[in-house]
């Protein structure tokens, strides 16, 4: 898809070239999309269009929050992928370990590494420009600060460490998201973060 699709009267039209975009009545809040974009965005959120049309970036608070079911499924996907990689590495090690007891030890001893890998990977992914692990990315949700901006690795690491707050009281910290209007769990509140989803047209 070359050029931009533009939502006009509620329907995507185009694609339009940059020259054609100048002739359209595009406002900062007009939804647009071009090749390489995951979803439609408001025109002011696209740097190229800000420069072309003279818009300023309008920072607005997030309004679309990821539900408990989306977050749980994203976590399950991430754990499955890490567990699958762990299992493959263990099976490869069995090529060099023949004893039954040694194989059992080789499987069980490194198991805490799964949680360490999830901590490091989750913090790195959520603190990166993508703002999401693979599981979250597949479900079109991401981690932001309270204003919808990306968080850094330090804040993401603190958020993931704070998950112990949500786990200790029999996982009530996770269930608290049903009582919070922004669907925040206790670790989100502690780290001052949100998990948001893309706006749907």
pLDDT digits (tens, 9 = 90+) for 100-121: 888 888 777 777 888 888 899 9
Candidate ranges 10-14, 93-97, 171-175; pick with highest mean pLDDT: 171-175
Q: Has this prediction a pTM greater than 0.75? A: no
Q: Chain centroid to CA 49: how far?
A: 25
Q: Which of 65, 83, 201 is nearest to 142 (CA)?
A: 65
Q: Cα 46 to the chain's mean position, in Å?
A: 19
pLDDT digits (tens, 9 = 90+) for 4-27: 999 988 899 989 999 899 889 899
């Amino acid at each position: 898809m070359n050029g931009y699709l533009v939502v006009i009267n509620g329907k995507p039209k185009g694609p339009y070239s940059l020259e054609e975009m100048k002739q359209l009545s595009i406002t900062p809040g007009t939804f647009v999309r071009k090749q390489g974009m995951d979803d439609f965005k408001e025109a002011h959120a696209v740097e190229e269009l800000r420069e072309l049309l003279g818009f300023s970036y309008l920072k607005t608070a997030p309004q679309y929050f990821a539900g408990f079911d989306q977050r749980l499924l994203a976590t399950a996907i991430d754990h499955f992928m890490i567990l699958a990689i762990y299992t493959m590495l263990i099976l490869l090690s069995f090529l060099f370990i023949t004893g039954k007891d040694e194989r059992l030890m080789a499987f069980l001893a490194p198991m805490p590494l799964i949680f360490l890998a999830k901590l490091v990977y989750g913090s790195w992914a959520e603190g990166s420009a993508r703002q999401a692990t693979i599981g979250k990315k597949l479900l079109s949700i991401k981690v932001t600060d309270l204003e919808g901006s990306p968080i850094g690795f330090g804040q993401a690491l603190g958020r993931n460490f704070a998950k112990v707050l949500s786990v200790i009281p029999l996982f009530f910290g996770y269930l608290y998201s049903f009582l919070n209007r922004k669907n925040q769990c206790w670790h989100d509140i502690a780290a001052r973060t949100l998990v948001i989803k893309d706006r749907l047209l």
